[in-house]
Structure 1
């Protein structure tokens, strides 16, 4: 009877941590959507909204860190429970960095708008859409406890890298052909790199989620089932 009560209590506190993690993830996702919506738009004062969302993400990151520390100190979890808490803490760190990159993307998109140089955002939008879909997918996988979907997302990292290389090479060539566009194109390259880094963080989250659920660490050589 006591054991059942203890298990239920841990499940409750873990659900609280997971809910905070998902809330943090949705905020970071919304930041990314808002930032990439600025591509090709006139100058707009988005700083207050972006900074407010970023502060909420930072607050949730700190809250999760405190929650995990408190649970470990009070309950001294073992095995599966410890693995879940460690994974939550690591995922929160990656989500905080996703939000930071989204904030930087918004700032650089605003700089491009202020400079007024014509820029082709087609490749950058495609890259941003791919990264956004991955981020949304991993958040759904966390909510559903879906290791198989997490592994699929983890395996798509090379696709993001390939799209990043295309954007980089295209705008590097534009810089060489039209030197007066160099300043704006440089901002595009920084944005593309931020998007590529968000993809890396999503890959990290997918790997941690698989470990959380299955206890197995993914390897690039792995192609089989998770069971």
Structure 2
């Protein structure tokens, strides 16, 4: 039976050797989180389109896994970032920011799925179509973020910044249609559609944050204070 404290002593001896491997593990976790978030968007789309219970449960599982990854990165980062160079430290900090934004995207998608699940009947098809359009764009944004992160390429990140405009346009179109509509037969469902669209628009904003983070990681320059319109051009 090991003496008290022997396990901790062993961990302390191994820690300097494992810093780099921990860093690689965190990067792999961040890349995995991109895939999971994209899968969550696709399954949310499937649930809205077909009321698939499997898709609903998949969105829930994705949200839980993204939460777990965020917690793991948050716990392991302090040890992993010790005694690494500037470039490695920048990558590890990017992993932390990735996990935070992707976890938030998972929360928003799960909230959309839960709201749709709580309705007695499906949303009107015109609303479903526009929500699915946003989800298509969002899923593609998340795929491009993963490609940009893995390949250290700016073109995919730039396409994400431009795609954010598409989400804004669809959201504004849905909003205007409901605000200008004279029909008051299903006001509750109108409110639900607007809240879902708003959540998806916010998820798009988080994806844009990730694209901006990639510019910081790859080029070493921040886009945080660049006007939104300029980012999209």
Distance 1:43 1:82, change over 3 A: closer
Post-superposition shift, 1:216?
0.8
Q: Is 1:115 aligned to 2:124, yes or no? A: no
Match 1:102 to one of 105, 109, 113: 109
Indicate the residue corresponding to 2:200 in structure 1.
195
Post-superposition shift, 1:61?
0.8
Indicate the residue corresponding to 2:37 in structure 1.
28
Post-superposition shift, 1:118?
3.5
Q: Is 1:66 aligned to 2:75, yes or no? A: yes
Structure 1: stretches of 5+ with no match in the other structure: 1-7
Q: Which SS does the other structure have where 1:39 is aligned?
A: helix
Distance 1:184 1:148, change over 3 A: same
Post-superposition shift, 1:14?
2.7
Distance 1:153 1:48 in 2: 28
Q: Is 1:77 aligned to 2:84, yes or no? A: yes
1:46-81 per-position Cα deviation (integer Å, ceiling 9, x unaligned): 654433332211111111112211112xx3334222
Indicate the residue corresponding to 2:160 in structure 1.
153
Distance 2:122 2:220 in 1: 51
1:107-150 per-position Cα deviation (integer Å, ceiling 9, x unaligned): 122234x2356442222222221122111111121121112321
Indicate the residue corresponding to 2:150 in structure 1.
143
1:164-186 per-position Cα deviation (integer Å, ceiling 9, x unaligned): 11121123334xx2212211121
Post-superposition shift, 1:41?
3.2
Number of matched pairs:
211
Post-superposition shift, 1:207?
0.7
Deviates more, 1:56-65 or 1:124-133: 124-133
Distance 2:139 2:179 in 1: 24
Indicate the residue corresponding to 1:214 in structure 2.
219
Structure 2: stretches of 5+ with no match in the other structure: 1-16
TM-score when scaled to structure 2?
0.80
Distance 1:40 1:179, change over 3 A: farther
Indicate the residue corresponding to 1:172 in structure 2.
179
Post-superposition shift, 1:31?
1.4
Distance 1:145 1:205, change over 3 A: same
Distance 1:131 1:111, change over 3 A: same
RMSD: 2.4
Distance 1:23 1:45, change over 3 A: closer
Distance 2:179 2:230 in 1: 35
TM-score when scaled to structure 1?
0.82
